[in-house]
Structure 1
Amino acid sequence: MEIPIALFAIIFFIILAYIVYQKLRFKFPPGPRPLPVVGNLYDIKPVRFRYFAELAKTYGPIVSVWIGSTLNVVVMNWELAKEVLKDNDQQLADRHRNRSSERFSKGGQDLIWADYGPHYVKVRKVCTLELFTPKRLDALKPIREDEVTAMVESIFRDCTKPDYNGNSIKVKDYLSPVAFNNITRLSFGKRFVNSEGLMTAQGAELKQIVDNGVKIGASLSVAEHIRWLRWMFPLDEESYNSHAARRDRLTRTIMEEHTLARQSGGAKQHFVDALLTLQQKYELSDDTIIGLLWDMITAGMDTTVITTEWAMAELVRNPRVQEKAQEELDRVIGTDRIMTEADITNLPYLQYVAKEALRLHPPTPLMLPHKASANVQIGGYHIPKGSNVHVNVWAIGRDPVIWKEPLEFRPERFIEEDIDMKGHDFRLLPFGAGRRVCPGTQLAIILVTSMLGHLLHHFRWAPAPGLKPEEMDMTENPGLVTYMRTSVQAVPTPRLPPHLYKRVAV
């Protein structure tokens, strides 16, 4: 027992000396006092973006928080966000990868977890110039519209059953299949749910891989934040290797299917076809193609469900806004046809509803952490190389200095002032900005707006029986993304003629 105690004592004093040295050398942003080794881990609340916003009330809009042995700087107003995402963009464009993301991305061979450099620039170019182009998104429009109308048909079928009796439904149960089918059809070119609504064997395998990846990532120990303790908590190599092999095997099977289809003159519009066609031109490895496809699966599946569910919660709580959006839909579209994506440009209030939901409830409230590749200054404070920098877009979206009545769900604010949300105006950053801005921003906006439009055009939505709108739980689950702690339960009432609820499969 003497050796471990002596070892811990040595480690303790080394870390203490390092922290003291760093404090003397750099002028860090203010923040709560860290303890040796663990930093501020003892005090951090599970819903971190709310915890950081609380710290801002004491320490100001830029704070230092030591998560274990790593300095994390959080900025919480738009001026500081601009310094991070524009003025010092290149020096803060690297990614912090824990052991899980390091393994899953194979050392940053994808886009999301790649450090800024030649590889990132290359795969970013593939995404912006080849995958998420207006031409390709337009070509894949029938797939998106098919899945949204399938959602409407499913809700209508369930709320018109003889034994329904005006009960509420869990909205997320209908949003998740749309997101799953949309992103798998766009990425892999296939629907993993058959005509009877049952998941295929490949679809079940893919879903299990997604769920298992989340489970493995969530199982990391506190040693993830304290490097000196990692030898005590080694990774479960067997679980990681098994998961990676299973994921790669499924993806390579689908890639081979598409290669054979292209050789026989098959379509080349889906993302997997595009990546395989561009593989030699851009010198993309199989690992990079697999990584990019799974970036789309994991990022695209969560964000559209999260944003749409929060928007529906706000619409149920705010019947005035719901009725105003439905008036616009009835005026522009009428009640004798269904909405299409082509209608979105003529539905400005519906667009404002989606934008307001993204302001109040950004799906990634702290973005993904930006890692400093060099020493920089933010807000007059030193940020040493290797630190993580977070932009609390949740706090910025609720800042009373820039938003009138910031906690009120009021889409009209965007009539009064047109604020860009694609990374050009630092007051509204649901998709980030700068070199790491989300390349799928336009696709996400289209999907969310289309889903909301169909839900509002086809149905009137009321709170669950016995629940007052103000009693709805509007808190978040802990995590990187902001799923609602309590899923929305609401009562749908059809508004259109019955024949408009029938899906015509594509």
Structure 2
Amino acid sequence: MDFLLFSLVTIIIAAVMQHLRRRRFNIPPGPPPHFLVGNLNQLKPQWTQSFSEWSQTYGPIISVWLGSQLSVVVSSSDLAKQVLRHKDYQLCNRQRTARMTQNGSDLIWSDYGQHYVKLRKLCTLELFSLKSIESFRSMREMEVRSMVRSIFMDLMSDDKKPVMLRNYLSSVALNIVSRLVIGKTFEPKEGKEFKSIVEKETRLPGATKLLDYTVWLKRFSSWFTSDKAFLKHMARRKNWFKEAVMGEVYGGGEQKCFVQSLLELKEKNELSEETVMGLVWNMLTAGADTNAITIEWAMAEMIRCPNVQEKVQNELDSVVGSKRLMSESDIPNLPYLQSVVKEALRLHPPTPLMLPHKASETVQIGGYKVPKGTTVYVNVQAIGRDSANWKNPYEFRPERFLEEETDVKGQDFRVLPFGSGRRVCPAAQLSINMMSLALGNLLHCFSWTTSTPRENIDMTEKPGLVCYMKTPLQAIASSRLPQDLYLNFSQKCI
């Protein structure tokens, strides 16, 4: 009884302190928080939707209380520039809430410091430099052409059957990234297990939202939750990694893959096994998911807007012709295709909220105080759909990027699919090349439509850190090129 009384008093005191904290700081306005839970119970499954709606009421910078944790969300390009450029140094750390990221020994979830700088430099030199991107170009082309051949062979067996594009896109993206990172594609069983593990992480049972975000209840989490599921999952992930990655014999190939460099540093005690595993996991999950997501959204938009699809195909026919398949070297000569990729990234950024930043000290943003320890989100999706930045922002219109030269790699704060500042995605150029190559080949080789009315395509977003289509896109494909190009692509492509 005394213990329960003590717990109740502790909760009340903490709640009072939280209330005083809100009054003490000139923090941004926002929806009134409720006792203990803050605004958690008001959030819709797709957080960006709630944040965008609240921004319409309270302004482009808002305070949202996730339990006892203060979060500040910015939804305008000017405020994003303050967060990611002017106050970048104070806001470049990561807020880690999910237990899979608690130690921050990898690249994506580490705080900014010597460890992060070392890992980023390593990734840039080995994977994302212009020299490295060019050296692996033929590999990317081969994987994309293999995807084209697979689609064509399926059409040969049944040309009326809808194509589940996500299956092909996920496979080709994972194959490209895995060959880049570990020098091989996964065996079907390994690839299936990897995808299952990644999917499991998005719905792993564990601490509830209240326990995750309410500081004074974390110590009591063992009363309500068990670590068994979490520990079992982490053991499964580690076992997969040891068998699929560490179990390989590396060396002897024409090109040294990324994991070889990591293992050499591990042997010199410059990297821990945990960091090696974290880096490889970062590259595989981030690289495979985000590229496939963007291409699927772009294809859905072009099926809904056949005039856009026709314009891309006319450009491809003019530049590439019908005697070979498209290669990466064609991309600079395909401005409309490039604009389609940019428009898909603007309207459907794969990470709509960007990963959470953390204030390492109290800073001023938009005339308000953001206390030390606050989580800061940049609502990239809202910025890309802001009518102050874009005319008819919800319309899929690639021409807007032809009318005005716009950078999508972090310099123009109206469109930030790769972030900006110290934490900008180092793989931006590689991702754009991959998306342009895959999308160009899909449109050059096939025409796409749907068996249902175009307006009935489900464009709902699936809640999560990354923004999948809730209903996977199914489309009817028909070939556009001579048959021998699909079957003998290795000889016919330049």
TM-score range, shorter chain: over 0.9
What percentage of residue pairs aligned between the two structures are identical?
50
Letter in 2 for 1:224: D
Letter in 2 for 1:474: M
The partner residue of 1:180 within 174, 178, 193 is 174
1:107-186 to 2 correspondence within 5 Å? Answer: 107-161=103-157, 163-164=158-159, 166-186=160-180
Q: For residue 269 of structure 1, what is the aligned residue in structure 2?
A: 256
Q: For residue 488 of structure 1, what is the aligned residue in structure 2?
A: 473
How far the C-alpha of 1:124 sits from its partner, in A, is: 1.3
Q: Is contact 1:122–1:282 with CA below 8 Å preserved after alignment? A: no
The partner residue of 1:364 within 328, 351, 361 is 351
Q: For residue 389 of structure 2, what is the aligned residue in structure 1?
A: 402
Q: Which runs of 5+ in 2 are unaligned?
A: none
Q: Could you tell me how far apart the structure 2 residues matched to 1:451 and 1:475 are?
A: 23
Q: For residue 196 of structure 1, what is the aligned residue in structure 2?
A: none
SS in 2 for 1:57: helix
1:165-314 to 2 correspondence within 5 Å? Answer: 166-193=160-187, 199=188, 201-216=189-204, 219-222=206-209, 223-234=211-222, 236-253=226-243, 256=246, 260-262=249-251, 265-279=252-266, 283-314=270-301
1:371-410 to 2 correspondence within 5 Å? Answer: 371-410=358-397
Distance 1:157 1:401, change over 3 A: same
How far the C-alpha of 1:505 sits from its partner, in A, is: 7.0
Q: For residue 95 of structure 2, what is the aligned residue in structure 1?
A: 96
How far the C-alpha of 1:469 sits from its partner, in A, is: 1.6
Distance 1:205 1:480, change over 3 A: closer
Q: Is contact 2:206–2:226 with CA below 8 Å preserved after alignment? A: no
Paired residues, number: 488
How far the C-alpha of 1:382 sits from its partner, in A, is: 0.4
Q: Could you tell me how far apart the structure 1 residues matched to 2:359 and 2:2 are?
A: 39
Q: Could you tell me how far apart the structure 2 residues matched to 1:12 and 1:454 are?
A: 59
Q: Could you tell me how far apart the structure 1 residues matched to 2:414 and 2:400 are?
A: 13
1:63-78 to 2 correspondence within 5 Å? Answer: 63-78=62-77
CA RMSD of aligned residues (A): 2.1
Q: Could you tell me how far apart the structure 2 residues matched to 1:255 and 1:490 are?
A: 35
SS in 2 for 1:273: helix
Distance 1:57 1:305, change over 3 A: same
Q: Is contact 1:15–1:36 with CA below 8 Å preserved after alignment? A: no
How far the C-alpha of 1:494 sits from its partner, in A, is: 0.6
How far the C-alpha of 1:141 sits from its partner, in A, is: 1.7
Q: For residue 334 of structure 2, what is the aligned residue in structure 1?
A: 347
Deviates more, 1:382-391 or 1:182-191: 182-191
TM-score (norm 1): 0.91
How far the C-alpha of 1:3 sits from its partner, in A, is: 4.2
The partner residue of 2:455 within 467, 470, 475 is 470
How far the C-alpha of 1:488 sits from its partner, in A, is: 1.3
Distance 1:346 1:99, change over 3 A: closer
Q: Is contact 1:150–1:503 with CA below 8 Å preserved after alignment? A: no
Q: For residue 14 of structure 1, what is the aligned residue in structure 2?
A: 13
Distance 1:405 1:204, change over 3 A: closer
TM-score (norm 2): 0.94
Deviates more, 1:376-385 or 1:231-240: 231-240
Q: Is contact 1:76–1:391 with CA below 8 Å preserved after alignment? A: yes
How far the C-alpha of 1:345 sits from its partner, in A, is: 1.1
SS in 1 for 2:40: coil
How far the C-alpha of 1:214 sits from its partner, in A, is: 3.5
Q: Is contact 2:325–2:489 with CA below 8 Å preserved after alignment? A: no
